[in-house]
Homo-oligomer: A and B are copies of this chain.
Amino acid sequence: MNKQIRLASRPSGWVKEENFTLTEEAVGEPADGQLLVRNIFMSVDPYMRGRMNDTKSYIPPFQIGEVLQAGVVGQVVASRHPDFAEGDYVTGMLGWENFSISDGTQLRKVVAGAVPLSYYLGILGMPGMTAYIGLFTIAKAQPEDTVFVSAASGAVGSVVGQLAKIHGCYVAGCAGSDDKVALLTAEFGYDAAFNYRNSESLSASIREVCPKGIDVDFENVGGELFEAALWNMRDFGRIALCGMISSYNDEQLEPGPRGMMLIIGRRLRIQGFIVSDHPEACQEYVVKASAWLAEGKLKYQETTAEGVENAPAAFISMLTGGNVGKQIVQLADP
C-alpha cells in the first residue's frame, strides 16, 4: 500500500497537524511514458507553508484533498519511460507518499554512493543552491565582506556561512538556541554568533558580532531580525531576501522594518530571489560543492524524521526551529 499525506484544510495562522490527513491507496502502475518511484527521502521546507495558502505566487498553491508535493530522492521500481530504467536513483518534485508516479518532468538521475542520497535534498539540492545563488548571484559577496546570516544553523544558513568563509568573508549569524550557536562556530565556520532568543536588543547583538557593520545580509527570517540587520548595514550593502520564516504563519500582513530611509542614505540594495530562476549557477554550484564535500571543506548536518506519517510533525517542527541543519523525512531504506 502507498501511504500518502494530503492537505485536509488550509491553515489559518499556525499550521497544525489537523491540516493534514493520512490516506492509503494501492501502489499505482506506470502508464506508457511514466515511471514508478519508491520514495526514500523527502524534504520539508519553509516555502511549503506559503503553498498551503490559496494565494497566487511563483508556484501554484497546494490543493485541498490532494497529495502534497515535496522534493524527493527515490529509486525507480518500474519504468515505461525511455530515459529511466528500473534501479535508477532519481530526485525531483514528487509527493508526500511512499510511491510516486512521474512522467519524468523535472526528474533527474543521481549517482548513489558518492554521498548519502539525502544530500540531494540539502547541501547538493535546493537549499545548498539557494545559499550559493543568494550569496553570489544576488548579493555579490566579495572577499573581506562582513556577511550576516539569520537562521544560520538551518538548511540554507549552515551552507551560506561555509560558502562565505571559503570565499574569504567574515561571517556572523544567529540561531535560536545555545547549542545551535555553538555549532555555528565549531562546525560551520562562523566567526561569531548569538542566540537571538536571549538577546535584549537584536540590533546591539548584531553590532557585537559585526563590529564593522554588515555588507551582505542573507535574510531568512524577516520581522524584527530583518529590521535589526537593516540598521546595521554599511554603505552600499546588499540584502539577499531569501525567506521571512517569522511571518509565514501570520494571519495578517505584518509591516516592514522601521527606518526604510536608511536604504537611501546608505545606498542599500534589497533583492528577492527564487533559486529556480538560476539553473546555470545551480549546476555550477553542484560541481563545486561536490568537490568541497569530498575534500571535507563543507560540513553538513541533518535532522531526520522517520515515516511519511511523521512528515507533518517534522514540517511544523522545522518551522519553529526544531531542526539543526536540513530537516529530512526518511520514507524507506536506501
Contact = CB atoms under 8 A, between A and B. Distances in A.
Interface stretch (A70-78, A96-104, A201-209, A269-277): A269-277
Interface string A259-275: 11111111111111110
Contact of A264 (B235, B243, B254): B243
Nearest to A261: B244
Contacts of A264: 241-244, 272-274
A307 interface: no
A212 interface: no
Interface residues of A, number: 34
A197 interface: no
Given A263-B270, A270-B263, A256 B253 contact: no
A222 B271 CA distance: 18
Contacts of A235: 58
Nearest to A266: B272
Interface string A199-228: 000000000000000000000001000100
Contact of A263 (B265, B272, B277): B272
A258 interface: yes
A320 interface: no
A48 to B, nearest CB: 14
A257 interface: yes
A313 to B, nearest CB: 25
Contacts of A254: 258
A176 to B, nearest CB: 21
Nearest to A230: B256
Task: Kindly name the residue among A222, A241, A272, A273 whose own CB sees the greatest number of chain B CB atoms within 10 A.
Answer: A272
Interface string A55-83: 00110000000000000000000000000
Nearest to A239: B270
B269 A271 contact: yes
A226 B244 CA distance: 20
A255 interface: yes
Contacts of A226: 260
Interface centre among A242, A253, A261, A268 (most CB of B within 10 A): A261
A57 B271 contact: no
Contacts of A242: 264
A268 B272 contact: yes
Contacts of A270: 263, 269-271
Given A58-B235, A256-B255, A256-B256, A261 B274 contact: no
16 contacts: A57-B265, A58-B235, A58-B266, A58-B267, A241-B263, A244-B264, A253-B258, A254-B258, A255-B256, A256-B256, A257-B260, A262-B272, A267-B271, A267-B274, A268-B271, A270-B270
Given A58-B235, A244-B261, A267-B272, 9 more contacts: A57-B265, A58-B267, A243-B264, A244-B260, A256-B257, A256-B258, A267-B277, A269-B269, A269-B272
